[in-house]
């Protein structure tokens, strides 16, 4: 009877008209974010051996890389640069969304030059266009702007003042001679910047981000995030620019140009979902995978909560981009050994909220030489280092793509990023309360005047950041356990509990699909993505 029910559910939801499924392997993918969509598309693009179904909890496409549409304006959850050192990823992106062949209207108006692609689409006429944007991002501290990463120029020292500059210099020189053991993120930063600069530019921001002081955080995060970045790296980047050194290595944090879809990151993932569906793939939205039935080192089926009740979906192969914590907690059918359950349940996350604020004008002035529409500050995003506010970063969507706004020449559309924990007092505030809180903070640090606010919207994002503390140190044991399930592939950011960007998440999907297609048994190549210590741009 149970079997019959299952069969009816599957046929009701997933039978694909005109497609003979008998000999196909059925692949169930959890999550329609970059990793899940890439895996689905790669499985179907050159073979009809698979029937692929993506189960997505939300009603949206793109996971945390989605674009939110609100009252005619578009909001990026975080500000997603499309950049990868992996040519395959860059090729994949530009095939989906061709590089602009004509200027965007802001570049045209301001006379900004871009390396346009001959024959590429005109963003003023077509939608499926990848824009080339300049990265400008600075630190806001002491109500002044500093370069990110801090650079050795006159303005920096003028902003800091003589006393702070001397202190910073002395403490940096000290680190040349005395290195700390890199047992924490704090020591990682101090070794590269000195204690004083660390205190000014890293300590408070990192604490805002993770909710813990850097002394309690693993140095791995620094190795992942600011790979190779240090005063030495900054200086050598400046020198190689001065001497116009060809093929210079560029550390991840210093990349100055990136691609961005005309309507934000979600546009690319929506396009990919359409391509996936054209190939016969199915996406079931509003399907939350709760239980994962396991037996004899295999996943047999998943059980989902849906708007139409609980559904069980069987499959031959399972690709998961859902958080590892939820995945292992959902294992049913066999008892998960206590030690692995403990690791999975102890994995920490940082949650995130962002407020989109539409304003008539900003109070901070553009004192740079960079021209912008309405002469607003040229930053794509600003790190807020002011210690007396909770605000972490400000995104300025006008500078990501002018097409994100209904009236980019009249208004400024900004995103205010807050790091928090699901269920804490900030998370639990009503939209109205939280928006008021955010406006108060922005006024306090002199960024806006509340009388200029036109519209606002708040988004909550669960598990935005997989964190590297608590049971993360035992992650290898959990990986070994997960690898015992032959037909289960863990991909993506939370799917691997790794600080993966979109490109890394895609590469984990490429690797998983390669293993499935070629019947490769090891999973090592999938887990090895984004683990190298040195990360530099191989090609521009
Ligand atoms: C603030 C911020 C800024 C960022 N900036 C950049 C950037 O500039 N460049 C860059 O490349 N990357 C950036 N990233 C990282 C990027 O967002 C992620 O790497 C990428 O979205 C990860 O893709 P994913 O598919 O692995 O996971 P996700 O995007 O998290 O997608 C997972 C999907 O699975 C679904 N799901 C989860 N649980 C279940 C379940 N139980 N059942 C069914 N479905 C489920 C979710 O709803 C989601 O749609 C940024 C991230 C943040 C938070």
- Tell me the pairing of strands 25-30 and 50-56: parallel
Which fold, 349-466? Polyamine Oxidase; Chain A, domain 2 (3.90.660)
Across the chain, what does the average pLDDT equal? 89
Q: How many other C-beta atoms lie within 10 A of the C-beta of residue 508?
A: 31
Instruction: Please report the atom of ligand 1 found closest to the CA of residue 464.
Output: 53
What confidence score (pLDDT) does residue 235 get? 55
Widest CA span of the chain, in angstroms? 80
Q: Atom 34, ligand 1: which residue's CA is nearest? A: 31
Q: Atom 3, ligand 1: which residue's CA is nearest? A: 78
Q: How many other C-beta atoms lie within 10 A of the C-beta of residue 3?
A: 8
Please tell me which residue, 125 or 4, carries the higher pLDDT value: 125
Contact 404, 373 (CB under 8 A): no
Contact 152, 168 (CB under 8 A): no
The model's pTM is 0.89
Q: How many other C-beta atoms lie within 10 A of the C-beta of residue 85?
A: 15
Range with the poorest average pLDDT among 79-88, 226-235, 378-387? 226-235
247: confidence class by pLDDT, cuts 50, 70, 90: very low
Instruction: Please report the atom of ligand 1 found closest to the CA of residue 393.
Output: 1
Contact 186, 198 (CB under 8 A): yes
Distance CA 460, CA 456 (A): 14
Q: For a substitution probing ligand 1, which of 84, 148, 284, 502 has the most ligand atoms within 8 Å of its CB?
A: 502
Distance CA 494, CA 348 (A): 11
Cβ neighbours of residue 528 under 8 Å, at least 6 residues apart?
none
Domain ranges within the chain, ordered by starting residue: 2-63+268-346+469-527, 142-254, 349-466
Distance (angstroms) between ligand 1 centre and the Cα of 264 equals: 14
Which fold, 2-63+268-346+469-527? FAD/NAD(P)-binding domain (3.50.50)
Range with the poorest average pLDDT among 102-106, 272-276, 468-472? 468-472
Q: How many other C-beta atoms lie within 10 A of the C-beta of residue 369?
A: 6
Ligand 1 shell residues, CB under 6 Å: 30-36, 55-58, 63-65, 78-81, 287-289, 321-322, 326, 352, 464, 492-495, 500-503, 505
- Between the two ends of the chain, the Cα-to-Cα distance in Å is 59
Distance CA 217, CA 212 (A): 7
Q: Atom 23, ligand 1: which residue's CA is nearest? A: 34
Task: Map residue 221 onto helix, strand or coil.
Answer: helix
Take residue 180 and report the two structure tokens written for it: 């700390």
Q: For a substitution probing ligand 1, which of 273, 501, 529, 537 has the most ligand atoms within 8 Å of its CB?
A: 501
């Amino acid at each position: 009877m149970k079997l019959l029910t299952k069969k009816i559910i599957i046929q009701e939801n997933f039978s694909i008209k005109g497609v003979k499924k008998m000999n196909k392997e059925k692949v169930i993918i959890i999550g329609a974010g970059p990793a899940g969509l890439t895996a689905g598309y790669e499985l179907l693009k050159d073979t009809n051996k698979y029937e692929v179904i993506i189960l997505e909890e939300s009603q949206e496409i793109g996971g945390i890389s989605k674009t939110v549409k609100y009252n005619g304006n578009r909001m990026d959850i975080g500000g997603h640069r499309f950049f990868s050192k992996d040519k395959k990823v860059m090729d994949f992106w530009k095939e989906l969304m061709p590089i602009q062949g004509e200027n965007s209207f802001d570049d045209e108006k301001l006379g900004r030059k871009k390396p346009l692609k001959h024959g590429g689409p005109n963003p003023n006429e077509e939608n499926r266009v990848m824009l080339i944007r300049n990265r400008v991002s600075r630190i806001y501290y002491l109500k002044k702007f500093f370069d990110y990463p801090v650079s050795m120029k006159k303005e920096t020292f003028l902003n800091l003042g003589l006393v702070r500059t001397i202190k910073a210099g002395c403490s940096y020189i000290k680190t040349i001679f005395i290195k700390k053991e890199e047992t924490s993120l704090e020591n990682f930063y101090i070794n590269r910047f000195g204690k004083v600069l660390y205190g000014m530019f890293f300590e408070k921001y990192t604490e805002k981000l993770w909710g813990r002081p850097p002394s309690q955080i693993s140095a791995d995060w620094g190795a992942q995030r600011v790979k190779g970045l240090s005063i030495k790296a900054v200086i050598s980047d400046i020198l190689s620019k001065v001497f116009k050194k060809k093929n210079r290595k560029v550390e991840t944090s210093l990349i100055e140009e990136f691609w961005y879809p005309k309507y934000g990151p979600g546009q690319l993932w929506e396009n990919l979902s359409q391509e996936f569906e054209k190939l016969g793939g199915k996406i079931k939205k509003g399907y939350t995978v709760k239980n994962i039935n396991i037996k004899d080192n295999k996943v047999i089926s998943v059980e989902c909560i849906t708007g139409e009740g609980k559904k069980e979906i069987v499959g031959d192969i399972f690709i998961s981009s859902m958080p590892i914590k939820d995945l292992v907690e959902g294992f049913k059918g066999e008892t998960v050994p206590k030690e692995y359950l403990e690791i999975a349940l102890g994995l920490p996350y940082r949650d995130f909220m962002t407020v989109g604020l539409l304003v008539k004008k900003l109070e901070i002035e553009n004192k740079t030489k960079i021209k912008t529409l309405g002469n607003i500050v040229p930053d794509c995003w600003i790190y807020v280092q002011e210690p007396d506010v909770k605000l972490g970063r400000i995104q300025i969507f006008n500078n990501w793509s002018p097409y994100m706004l209904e009236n980019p020449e009249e208004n400024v559309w900004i995103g205010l990023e807050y790091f928090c924990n699901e269920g804490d007092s900030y998370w639990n505030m009503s939209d109205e309360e939280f928006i008021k809180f955010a406006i108060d903070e922005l006024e306090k640090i002199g960024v806006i005047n509340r009388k200029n606010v036109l519209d606002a919207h708040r988004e909550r994002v669960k598990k935005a950041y997989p964190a590297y503390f608590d049971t993360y140190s035992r992650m290898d044991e959990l990986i070994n356990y997960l690898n015992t399930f032959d037909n289960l592939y863990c991909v993506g950011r939370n799917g691997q509990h790794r600080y993966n960007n979109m490109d890394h998440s895609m590469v984990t999907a490429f690797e998983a699909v390669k293993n499935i297609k070629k019947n490769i048994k090891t999973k090592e190549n999938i887990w090895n993505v984004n683990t190298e210590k040195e990360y530099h741009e191989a090609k521009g």
